[in-house]
Amino acid sequence: MEKNYTNYDLDKLDVQILSILMEDASIPYTEIAKKLIVSGGTIHVRMKKMEEMGIIRGSNLIINPQKIGFDITAFLGIYLEKGSQYADAVEQLKQVKEVVELHYCTGQYSMFAKIICKDTSHLRKVLNEDIQGLKGIQRTETIISLEESIKRQITL
């Protein structure tokens, strides 16, 4: 059979399985098997292989943050005093539970974070008390998201 439909060791079947489950992880293996015209056992074997390869990190429930009172999504450009303080800053930011993503990046900012807060006063508290006071952080720039127009996974 032809290989290299895509990268690494994934063949077409693997990619099809991933594509389906990336949209909805609750679809049963038996249904996927029917759709792709293979047996349920095969789906199971492929999934196990991909889990062992580290391609699949796990699954999670997607909740709507706004429905439970988390109304503000913001991005934070962070300037460090010295680039070498990066590792330190990561450890400190891990303690701030409102930080949901943190990137070490190129460009004007040393680091770039995504944070989710309940309201403006919560955001102010996180910025002033939890983040700007951290050792090594010089200053931050805040971009507030007024609307999330697209939110999806990559298409394989």
CA–CA dist 127, 107 (Å, integer): 22
Q: In this structure, are residues 142 and 127 in contact, taking their beta carbons and an 8 Å threshold?
A: yes
Q: Which does 45 bind (CB under 5 to 8 A by kind): a copy of itself, DNA, none?
A: DNA
Taking CB under 7 A as the binding criterion, the range among 23-31, 56-64, 127-135, 142-150 that sits at the site for DNA is 23-31
Q: Which does 13 bind (CB under 5 to 8 A by kind): DNA, a copy of itself, none?
A: DNA
Among 4, 54, 84, 135, binds a copy of itself (CB under 8 A): 54
The 3-state DSSP class for residue 37 equals: coil
Q: What is the DSSP string of 108-135?
A: S-SEEEEEEESSHHHHHHIIIIIITTST
Can residue 95 be called a binding residue for a copy of itself (CB under 8 A)?
Answer: no
The 3-state DSSP class for residue 78 equals: strand
Q: Which does 142 bind (CB under 5 to 8 A by kind): DNA, a copy of itself, none?
A: a copy of itself
Can residue 5 be called a binding residue for DNA (CB under 7 A)?
Answer: no
Footprint on residues 38-57 left by DNA (CB under 7 A): 38-42, 44-49
Tokens 């439909």 identify what position?
A: 5
Q: Which of 30, 139, 35 has the alpha carbon at shortest distance from 79?
A: 139
Q: Which does 6 bind (CB under 5 to 8 A by kind): a copy of itself, DNA, none?
A: a copy of itself
Binding site residues, DNA, CB under 7 A: 13, 28-31, 37-42, 44-49
